Amino acid sequence: MITVAAMLVIAKGVLHTGVVSRATYRLLSGVQTSGQALRRLIPPVGFISALINTTPIVAMLIPAAKELQQRSGIPARGVLLPIAHATTLAGSATLIGTSSNLLIAALAAPSGAEVTMFSFVPIAVPVALVGWVVLLLTAPAMLRGRSENADRDLSWHAEIPVAARANAVGRTAAELGIATTIEFELVDIRREGKPVATESVLEAGDRLIYRCTEAGVRILWGSPRFSLSPQPLYLVAIATNEQARVRDLEDDENILVVAAQTTNALRDAPAEAGALCLVTTESVAALDDHSLVGLWQQAAGKAPQTGKTWVALLILAGVIVAGSFGLAQVELIAATGAALTVLTGVLTPRSAARALNWNILAIIAGSIGLGTIVVKSGLGEYISEALLSLSAGKTVLVVLVLAVSTTVMTNVVTNAAAAAILTPVVLTIAARTGLNPVLLLTMVGTCISFTFLNPFSHQSNLMVMRPGNYSTRTFIRYGLPLTAVCLTTVCVVSWVLLTI
């Protein structure tokens, strides 16, 4: 429980720097087909998924896929589901890649079966590589779709400043993919108050002028390219018509106007009653007290903070290295990493607390209790006897029965519940047959990631279901060949390792 909670904080710290978003946008630059996008994304995203929780990674890839659809006409449908499955496969390769692996290690430890950071690699990595090949081959044919041709309603005027240490400095807007999409269009660059060509190399202090949709403002605000203020974005409705200008909102020095629904420059835009604008501020009290503000609501979270990128990455690397060499108990190492994430300013204490996904933690806590029930009630012995009778004690049949049973169970119940039920069963089977318990556990941990047939079997599946316009039938049709190939691979690899 401690390890999972700490890794959620560390993962949020890494993602908060925008490093994944920056890498993703760079990888997707210039792609022409969904197959090309998948070939560029799957290996690096898979590697990251083996180190931190996959759910926030998929969450960050959804807007990137949507922007790719807007910019290049490549349907998000052909990208999101393969990426979700690829991250799930890769997440099973390490102890910290998925909570089910941590749960298996915790439940197995009292029996003397030591599952370490990379115990899952010999089985999970070959299966992931084969699975990725299947994803690349089947996605273009089975996930065809057309991009949505929406008419652009560029009724917002946005002025985005380039901070001194912004990632955009030294490159052009076109190179960064922040020039023109269906949601926004760069119309001018202001440097020291004077216009320069939109093709110019960006410098610190430049102000980029956009015509965009409201969603486009949010996209720009959330881009890691600008190193914008670490404050949320608020949608504000003007209360009165006092012959004022939108810029008059900045009479309170805590408020910065980012965009307004107008065709005029922000300095000329009238603050008419009911007019909408997007602002940022350190404290909502400034909005409550301002005479021009009628209503407000939060429109977007804090912009990514790129200045702490290397700090966050070094903390993650330190946790992985310390855990790999067993320098301390994994929960102590992870908790230290989470504490450093806060102490170094990568996250505020409040942001760290919000990183804790209480649903995940509650499921894991309940699953630990479920595992105890399986052992204490004798249910584990009963299930073990049934599986051993089906396999007749032969290694190849033990592997096959366990792999198939795990795959069926993980698509019916949560992966944490499957881990809790099957870990004591596997330990009993290993004791009866003399097989290596760690190899059997890592095989089961790998099979728990085969959540391809049911949109409700994994959180990543649910996350991409609506953006990709998938149905349950889509999951079954696309997941069946992937499941069949991965099952075959895991059985072959596990049998070879167990009989060496």
Q: What is the pLDDT of residue 318?
A: 92
The pLDDT tens digits for 298-321 are 876 666 667 788 898 899 999 989
| d(C-alpha 136, C-alpha 229), whole Å | 39
Structure tokens at 289: 């007290």
The pLDDT tens digits for 397-431 are 999 999 999 999 999 887 888 888 899 999 999 99
CATH 3.90.45.10 fits 156-306, yes or no: no
Q: What is the pLDDT of residue 350?
A: 82
| d(C-alpha 448, C-alpha 167), whole Å | 39
Q: What is the pLDDT of residue 120?
A: 95
The pLDDT tens digits for 147-184 are 444 456 788 999 888 887 777 888 898 888 788 877 88
| d(C-alpha 350, C-alpha 356), whole Å | 11
| d(C-alpha 97, C-alpha 36), whole Å | 26
Q: What is the pLDDT of residue 398?
A: 92
Q: Are the C-beta atoms of residues 241 and 135 closer than 8 Å to each other?
A: no
The pLDDT tens digits for 210-256 are 999 888 888 888 777 776 666 788 888 887 666 788 888 888 778 88
Q: What is the pLDDT of residue 228?
A: 64
How would residue 296 be classed by pLDDT, with cut points 50, 70 and 90? Answer: confident
The average confidence (pLDDT) of the chain is 85
Q: What is the pLDDT of residue 147?
A: 46
Q: What is the pLDDT of residue 302?
A: 63
What's the 3-state SS for the chain? CHHHHHHHHHHHHHHHCCHHHHHHHHHCCCCCCHHHHHHHHHHHHHHHHCCCCHHHHHHHHHHHHHHHHHHHCCCCHHHHHHHHHHHHHHHCCCCCCCHHHHHHHHHHHHHCCCCCCCCCHHHHHHHHHHHHHHHHHHHHHHCCCCCCCCCCCCCEEEEEECCCCCCCCCCCHHHHCCCECCCEEEEEEEECCEEECCCCCCCCCCEEEEEECHHHHHHHHHCCCCCCCCCCEEEEEECCCCCCEHHHHHHCCCEEEEEECCCCCCCCCECCCCCEEEEEECCCHHHHHCCCEEEEEEEECCCCCHHHHHHHHHHHHHHHHHHHCCCCCHHHHHHHHHHHHHHCCCCCHHHHHHHCCHHHHHHHHHHHHHHHHHHHCCHHHHHHHHHHHHHCCCHHHHHHHHHHHHHHHHCCCCHHHHHHHHHHHHHHHHHHHCCCHHHHHHHHHHHCCCCCCCCCCCHHHHHHHCCCCCCHHHHHHHHHHHHHHHHHHHHHHHHHHHHC
The pLDDT tens digits for 27-74 are 877 788 888 889 999 999 889 888 887 877 887 787 778 777 766 778
What's the 3-state SS for 114-130? CCCCCCCHHHHHHHHHH
Better-scored residue on pLDDT, 408 or 265: 408
Query: Quick one: angle between helices 2-16 and 358-376, nearest 10?
Result: 150
Query: What are the residues whose beta carbons fall under 8 Å from the beta carbon of 112, sequence distance 6 or more?
Result: none
Which of 19-33, 76-90, 363-377 holds the top average pLDDT? 76-90
Q: What is the pLDDT of residue 305?
A: 67
How would residue 339 be classed by pLDDT, with cut points 50, 70 and 90? Answer: very high
User: Once rounded to an integer, what is the mean pLDDT over residues 107-127?
Assistant: 92
- What type of residue sits at position 338? A
| d(C-alpha 262, C-alpha 275), whole Å | 9
Q: What is the pLDDT of residue 85?
A: 94
Q: How far is CA 324 from CA 99, 330, 392, in A?
A: 17, 9, 37
Better-scored residue on pLDDT, 28 or 346: 346
Q: What is the pLDDT of residue 244?
A: 82
User: Once rounded to an integer, what is the mean pLDDT over residues 257-274?
Assistant: 84
The pLDDT tens digits for 429-461 are 999 899 999 999 999 999 999 999 988 888 888
What own/partner pairs with CB < 8 Å and gap ≥ 24 does 479-482 have? 479/85, 479/452, 479/453, 480/452, 480/453, 481/134, 481/138, 482/85, 482/131, 482/134, 482/135, 482/138, 482/452
Predicted TM-score (pTM) of this structure: 0.72
Q: Are the C-beta atoms of residues 258 and 264 closer than 8 Å to each other?
A: no
Better-scored residue on pLDDT, 378 or 33: 33
Q: What is the pLDDT of residue 486?
A: 96
Q: What is the pLDDT of residue 220?
A: 83
Biggest alpha carbon distance in the chain?
87
What percent of the chain is modeled with pLDDT above 70? Answer: 94
Q: What is the pLDDT of residue 300?
A: 67
- What type of residue sits at position 190? R
User: Once rounded to an integer, what is the mean pLDDT over residues 88-103?
Assistant: 90
List the chain domain ranges. 2-145+313-499, 156-306
